Amino acid sequence: MSSSHQPPPFLAGLSIRRLSNIHLPEISFDIQETHEAQDPAGVSEIIYERLDAVKERERRSILRALKKCCCCIPGDAWEQEYAPISPTLSEPSDDPEPSSFFTYKPSKNIVDPCGLSIIERVFFKSPPNRPQVIMSLALQFILPPSVKDLDPQRIVDLIRIAQSKHYRCSSFVDPVTMNAHPLAHTADKLPCNYRFIQKTADPSCWQTVYTEEINTNFDVNDVGRPLWRAAIIVPLKMMPKPGSLLQKGESHLPPAQQTRRLIFGSGKGFGEALPECGDEDRSFRIIFSFHHCLGDGLSMFAFCRTFAECTDVQFLTNENLHLENRPVVKEPPPLLDNVVNPYFLEVLPAAVSMAFKSFLRRGRARFQPQKPIPKPNLHSRVHSSASSMDNLTAPSSPHPHPTTIPSSPSLANTNPIQLLRNPHQPQSQTNTRFLWFPSDFTTLLRETSRSHKTSIAAVLVVTSLTATLAILRTRTSTSTSNTTHTETPTHQGWVVTNSIRHLLPTSHLLTGGPRETDPALKLFGGYAGSVMNNNLKLTGTSKLWSRCRSVKATIGTCLRESMRRMKVVNYCYRYPKVWRMIERRTDLGALSRGFSVEVANLGAWEDPFWEVESGGLGEGRAAGDGIVEEGLGLGHFGGVVNSSFDGVRGLFTLGVITLRGDMSVAVAYDALCVTEGEAALFVQVFCQVLRRIVDAGDNATVDDLLRACT
């Protein structure tokens, strides 16, 4: 390229600035890349790189459009015949591929290695006016005895260290290509979505913050921040100083309109009382919220395990953590979609089975999908307090009614909670109730389940279906229609999620390796599978333990069923016309809440943090060299995914986490489909049935346990 064609410097700068504003259907530019180009030849090279993935018939039209916007490229450069710089996924390979829909194709990457998987792309492309798929995890931390106070800047630094060790957490997702790109090279430059909330006198204020976090959408078009955030609830002495850089660096959030509180009743029965730490001034909470397109539930727990690695006394008390010397991980997690390569005869039986099971769901005596009815001014509604459910009754209408709750006198002199919700933005209506079962009861439940040849996961499913049956009976008995008779469903559906991470090349689980140290279980990505049954018969005369054994047998097929569905999706995605037809004809909203319950069980794990005494002080644990160390202790924990997005499968979603023997169960539900009274009924029946099932005989029926709950 001759120098006579070089434009004046001001024209080159003008065109480079305008280049980042070009957004055509098949081509886009990153503003960081255009800033790095210092000459017109560099701009031309960037354009040619983007044209690698563009179809031949569209290249000339794109070049003509770019010629009008970028005046710095010499005229003869536009007339050159385009030649791809490097092979891309859309380039034809050297070996001819069969074009038949029924024949086997050679294996190749169907998605970019640094991009999202097929299912994660579905999560990412939520309609802009609909709730997103968001999962949140609340953790309560307790300071060790040797640490008097904790600087709020240190909390953010520890979060950044954990963020730098996961590719998805330290990257942004391109809304066009749906590929993840790192945001920085070192931990000190990583943007972090955080906000500090002052702890109030109300011990349940964190539940209000949790509700706001799980119901607030992410800005998927903001390429300057990752798709996850942290809400840090601290006492007054740990709050950032007004006007400090830490306070100015908080995420820009809409101002609070009013303090909304979810009151679940004063009576706390079995399972509803949460653990308490000794000194509230020495504890704080962090609520991590992630967009589900980044990873699954185990990924959220993997992030917490990484955060636990930097919570000992040395990290808490060192003057400088030198974040500038901590590099950001640049290797994306592996994608299973690029590993499997199904052919037609392999996916045909699975597709027929899925269609057959969908056909069996039809029938008047089966659980039907619950449809929400939007109410006006939902953002101004305050949920009513759940009344006592001594007689196991609930309101007949499946839709909540707006009521007003007077403010609590104990909160009159405290600062209001900084709410995240903006009434002018689309929000979901998910409410969450947290349950807690101590280790002694969990051990007894596990032993009883094994003696009846079943598992805790199966017991949780059947207990949830029993609680749902109590709600359905209440709706049927209070029906006021004289012309139509609503029949109580005799069959219900359930879903249990599981992990297929042992299929990753880095996993040692198939060879008997320890789960706590397995590399595949420390990755942040989407590797979740599920198994479901939409035709389980459950009536009052059904034997409870027999139903549990049936559910356990179905859960045992989780790996096979997950792989079959993944291969069907993978095969259809390889044919763009077939995939686009599926996207056009699939209405996720019509498929929502087609099952009674979805149980997301993360399994039982050792506590990744430091041991905590009942008094709330860190006890410490022995290190490998015999020196006793200490660090942040973990009190209460719990998390779940929201239940308001299009395609949510369960009327109730249960997030189950077991650490050090203690089991936390978070029950999420959509307030547009379940009233607070019905939610209270579900929680009460669930806890009471779970407590009495350990003493129930093998012939105990559903009605026997429901009568015992009255």
Which residues, 6+ apart, have CB-to-CB distance to 700 below 8 Å?
543, 544, 545, 693
Cβ-contact 666, 434 below 8 angstroms = yes
Domain that includes residue 208, residue range? 123-325
Does an H or E element contain 441, and which? helix 439-451
What pLDDT, on a 0 to 100 scale, did the predictor assign at position 293?
A: 95
Do 149 and 57 fall within a single domain?
no
Q: What is the mean pLDDT of each run of 10 residues along the chain (710 residues)?
A: 41 41 48 48 55 53 54 40 36 40 57 92 89 95 89 94 96 94 94 92 88 93 93 93 83 44 50 80 93 94 93 90 94 90 83 70 52 45 36 35 28 33 57 94 95 95 95 75 62 91 85 86 90 89 94 88 88 90 85 89 88 46 46 92 91 94 95 91 94 91 86
Q: Are strands 595-605 and 650-659 parallel, antiparallel or unpaired?
A: parallel
**Domain end position, chosen among 290, 325, 360:** 325
DSSP string, 604-634: EE--SSB-B-TTS-B--EE-TTS-EE-B-EE
Do 273 and 138 fall within a single domain?
yes
Do 159 and 290 fall within a single domain?
yes
> Which residue's structure tokens are 């808490």?
316
The CA angle 397-401-405, to the nearest 5 degrees, is 140
Do 292 and 159 fall within a single domain?
yes
Which residues, 6+ apart, have CB-to-CB distance to 697 below 8 Å?
none
DSSP 543: B
Does an H or E element contain 436, and which? strand 430-437
If DSSP codes are grouped into helix, strand and coil, which group holds residue 661?
coil
**Domain end position, chosen among 325, 341, 361:** 325
Cβ-contact 601, 497 below 8 angstroms = yes
For the domain that residue 247 is a member of, what is the CATH number? 3.30.559
Phi, psi of 228 (to 5 degrees): -155, 160
Residues 106-113: contacts with CB under 8 Å, at least 24 apart: 106/341, 107/341, 109/338, 110/337, 110/338, 110/570, 110/573, 110/574, 111/335, 111/337, 111/338, 112/177, 112/179, 113/332, 113/334, 113/335, 113/338
If DSSP codes are grouped into helix, strand and coil, which group holds residue 273?
coil
What pLDDT, on a 0 to 100 scale, did the predictor assign at position 626?
A: 40
> Which residue's structure tokens are 């990257």?
171
Do 66 and 139 fall within a single domain?
no
Cβ-contact 179, 115 below 8 angstroms = yes
Q: Does residue 186 sit within a domain?
A: yes
Cβ-contact 633, 150 below 8 angstroms = no
Separation between Cα atoms, residue 621 and residue 33, nearest integer Å: 48
Separation between Cα atoms, residue 430 and residue 417, nearest integer Å: 19
Q: Does residue 25 sit within a domain?
A: yes
Do 72 and 131 fall within a single domain?
no
Query: What order of strands is seen across the sheet that includes strand 633-641?
Result: 194-198, 228-234, 283-291, 134-142, 633-641
Separation between Cα atoms, residue 209 and residue 231, nearest integer Å: 8
Separation between Cα atoms, residue 615 and residue 395, nearest integer Å: 41
Do 64 and 152 fall within a single domain?
no
Q: Does residue 665 sit within a domain?
A: no
Dihedral angle sign, alpha carbons of residues 59, 64, 65, 71: positive
Cβ-contact 617, 610 below 8 angstroms = no
Q: Does residue 213 sit within a domain?
A: yes
What pLDDT, on a 0 to 100 scale, did the predictor assign at position 429?
A: 87
Alpha carbon separation from 289 to 107, 229, 299, 587, 592 (Å, rounded)? 36, 5, 12, 26, 22
Separation between Cα atoms, residue 112 and residue 406, nearest integer Å: 53
Separation between Cα atoms, residue 597 and residue 654, nearest integer Å: 7
Do 160 and 280 fall within a single domain?
yes
Q: Does residue 389 sit within a domain?
A: no
- pTM of this prediction exceeds 0.85: no
Dihedral angle sign, alpha carbons of residues 217, 220, 224, 226: positive
If DSSP codes are grouped into helix, strand and coil, which group holds residue 234?
strand
Do 313 and 182 fall within a single domain?
yes
Do 210 and 280 fall within a single domain?
yes
Separation between Cα atoms, residue 641 and residue 662, nearest integer Å: 20
> Which residue's structure tokens are 């291969």?
567
CA-based diameter of the chain, in Å? 93
Q: 198 has which bridge partners?
A: 234
Q: Does residue 304 sit within a domain?
A: yes
**Domain end position, chosen among 52, 78, 104:** 78
Cβ-contact 140, 636 below 8 angstroms = yes
Do 300 and 180 fall within a single domain?
yes
Alpha carbon separation from 335 to 170, 338, 523, 662 (Å, rounded)? 18, 6, 11, 33
Task: Give buried/exposed letters for 654-687 (b at 16+ CB in 10 A, else e).
Answer: bbbbbbebbbbbbbbbbbbbbbbbbbbbbbbbbb
Do 183 and 67 fall within a single domain?
no
Q: Does residue 166 sit within a domain?
A: yes
Cβ-contact 82, 59 below 8 angstroms = yes
Q: Does residue 273 sit within a domain?
A: yes
Q: How many domains are contained in the chain?
A: 2
